[in-house]
């Protein structure tokens, strides 16, 4: 007799309400052990025909599933319950051992067809119990709670756990037989949406191993795109440092998807994933702050995801990149005014090998001018700009600058007052482009910091630019004269 059977036998005691609460608390404890992310609401009902006893919710996935507790282990009664409550595809949870093997087979078939999971708490916990040794089972455990169907006893929990755990390892080695077993086990137990979640993870790992997509076993029409849960798991448990693996993984991940999860700067796998996909991930905006996210790693940038954005931190500053507008980055604790003198801005641009096509300049007395370089000219050698600089005074500040990218086909506007950069309309830029064109203008960098950025995003040779730039000292001297 299990703990639930003992509690049920006590329901005839003087305080049945307390006994019901005890049963529900025991079930809730098992469910939370199965998935720590689930939120569980206990209703005012118990063993009710139509009203659920518990409601499971997942904030990130925006999913909900009802749980109906049953004190009887009679398969015939449970089959009747399946017919009554199947519309919402719930979990039917008998608290007593099932009887009659033949009727249990029929119960399994009918509940699978109805999208209803029939499982006792111990069976559900049986999957998650092995996730320490096989972390992929944590994803499987959640998928069963959200989309499991059919009869799920402890024997099936063991066989499914073995199939998926071994299949994940096999996919990393492009071994088809065990990978196929995992796909089949997932499709048999889970509804199509949640089976697809596991299959996409296996598929991504299969591709990461270097095997062709056409050879992936057991499922057709699988896309390479990972969902957030699969990506989080992969970053947590993958052990390879091969760049090709992470480049292949990145091909099936968008920056939007990556920003759905929270990954700290301590994750070496995140560093690898971002570093080799700077020319794949695209953002709409970025912002710089002098407040580092963490200082434990020195001046070398360390990537992290937080609050829906991707960023990196050094010991002196941090940079955030968003797939949304600049306003999506307003959660920074402070936004420093980054406007600088024209001389300094030109120095920054020259050191980074950048051209500038437009400027907004303001004098110390509040005079302002929008300046655009003449066609086929560069702003560094423009005589009119030099004259304007003299007229505005030595303390003039640059409020914004526009950097042409891709031969001038796209333009990146750097707002120095907000220390932020974005394109025009819906333009998006590769992270490598933002690292090369925005960060060096929005912040003064040490030589070592420029070296780190150049390693992340190799800079163009200065002679390959459309217009040759003058040296930093030459530009400053001309402005002062």
For residue 273, is pLDDT > 80?
yes
Q: Of 338, 247, 264, which Cα lies nearest the Cα of 303? A: 264
In the chain, % of residues over pLDDT 70: 86
H helix or E strand, kind and range, residue 79: helix 75-85
For 205-219, letters b (16+ CB in 10 Å) and e give bbbbbebeeeebbbb
pLDDT band at 30 (very low <50, low <70, confident <90, very high): confident
For residue 321, is pLDDT > 80?
yes
Q: Mean of the pLDDT values across residues 174-182?
A: 95
For residue 464, is pLDDT > 60?
no
Q: Mean of the pLDDT values across residues 413-422?
A: 95
User: What is the 8-class DSSP label of residue 409?
Assistant: T
Which residue spans within 241-284 are E strands per DSSP?
A: 282-283
Q: Residue 239: what pLDDT?
A: 76
Question: Concatenated DSSP letters for 438-452?
Answer: THHHHS---HHHHHH
Report which of residues 350 and 407 the model is more confident about.
350
CA distance 126 to 451: 51
pLDDT band at 221 (very low <50, low <70, confident <90, very high): low
Q: Residue 66: what pLDDT?
A: 96
Q: Residue 168: what pLDDT?
A: 93
Top-ranked range on mean pLDDT: pick from 122-126, 188-192, 450-454:
188-192
pLDDT tens digit sequence for 279-307: 999 999 999 998 877 656 667 889 999 99
CA distance 237 to 234: 5
Alpha carbon separation from 13 to 2, 3, 26, 299 (Å, rounded): 18, 16, 18, 67
Pick from 76-80, 157-161, 192-196, 331-335: least confident: 331-335
H helix or E strand, kind and range, residue 362: strand 358-362
Q: Residue 101: what pLDDT?
A: 72
pLDDT tens digit sequence for 80-132: 999 999 888 999 999 888 887 777 899 999 999 999 999 988 888 888 777 77
Alpha carbon separation from 239 to 169, 227, 318, 386, 390 (Å, rounded): 11, 20, 27, 56, 59
């Amino acid at each position: 007799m299990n703990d639930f059977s003992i509690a049920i036998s006590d329901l005839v005691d003087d305080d049945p309400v307390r006994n019901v609460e005890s049963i529900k608390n025991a079930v809730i404890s098992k469910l939370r052990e199965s998935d720590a992310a689930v939120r569980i609401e206990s209703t005012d009902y118990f063993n009710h025909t139509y009203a659920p006893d518990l409601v499971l919710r997942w904030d990130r996935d925006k999913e909900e599933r009802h749980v109906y507790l049953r004190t009887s282990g009679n398969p015939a009664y449970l089959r009747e319950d399946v017919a009554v409550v199947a519309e919402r595809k719930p979990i039917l949870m008998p608290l007593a051992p099932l009887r009659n093997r033949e009727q249990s087979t029929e119960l399994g078939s009918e509940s699978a067809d109805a999208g209803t999971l029939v499982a006792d708490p111990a069976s559900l916990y049986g999957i998650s119990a092995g996730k320490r040794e096989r972390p992929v089972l944590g994803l499987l455990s959640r998928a069963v709670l959200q989309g499991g169907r059919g009869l799920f006893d402890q024997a099936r929990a063991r066989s499914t756990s073995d199939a998926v755990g071994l299949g994940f390892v096999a996919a990393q080695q492009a071994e088809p037989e065990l990978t196929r077993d995992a796909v089949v086990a997932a499709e048999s137990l889970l509804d199509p949406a949640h089976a697809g979640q596991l299959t996409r993870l296996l598929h991504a790992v299969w591709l990461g191993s270097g095997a062709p997509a056409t050879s992936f076993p057991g499922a057709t029409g699988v896309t390479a795109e990972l969902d957030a849960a699969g990506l989080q798991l992969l970053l947590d448990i993958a052990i390879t440092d091969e760049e090709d693996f992470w480049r292949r993984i990145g091909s099936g991940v968008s920056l939007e998807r990556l920003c759905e999860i929270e990954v700290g700067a301590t994750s070496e796998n995140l560093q690898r994933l971002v570093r080799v996909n700077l020319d794949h991930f695209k953002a709409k905006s970025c912002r710089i702050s002098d407040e580092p996210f963490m200082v434990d790693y020195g001046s070398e940038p360390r990537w992290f995801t937080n609050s829906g954005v991707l960023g990196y931190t050094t010991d002196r500053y941090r940079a955030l990149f968003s797939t949304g507008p600049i306003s999506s980055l307003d959660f920074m604790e402070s936004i420093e005014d980054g406007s600088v003198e024209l001389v300094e801005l030109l120095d920054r641009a020259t050191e980074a090998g950048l051209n500038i096509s437009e400027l907004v300049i303001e004098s110390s007395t509040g005079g302002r001018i929008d300046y655009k370089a003449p066609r086929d000219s560069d702003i560094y050698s423009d005589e009119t700009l030099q004259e304007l600089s003299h007229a505005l005074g030595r303390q003039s500040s640059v409020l914004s600058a526009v950097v042409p990218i891709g031969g001038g086909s796209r333009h990146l506007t750097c707002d120095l007052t907000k220390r932020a950069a974005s394109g025009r309309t819906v333009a998006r830029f590769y992270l490598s482009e933002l690292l090369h064109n925005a960060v060096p203008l929005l912040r003064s960098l040490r030589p070592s910091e420029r070296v780190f950025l150049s390693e992340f995003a190799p800079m163009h040779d200065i002679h390959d630019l459309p217009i040759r730039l003058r040296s930093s000292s030459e530009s400053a001297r001309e402005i002062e004269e």
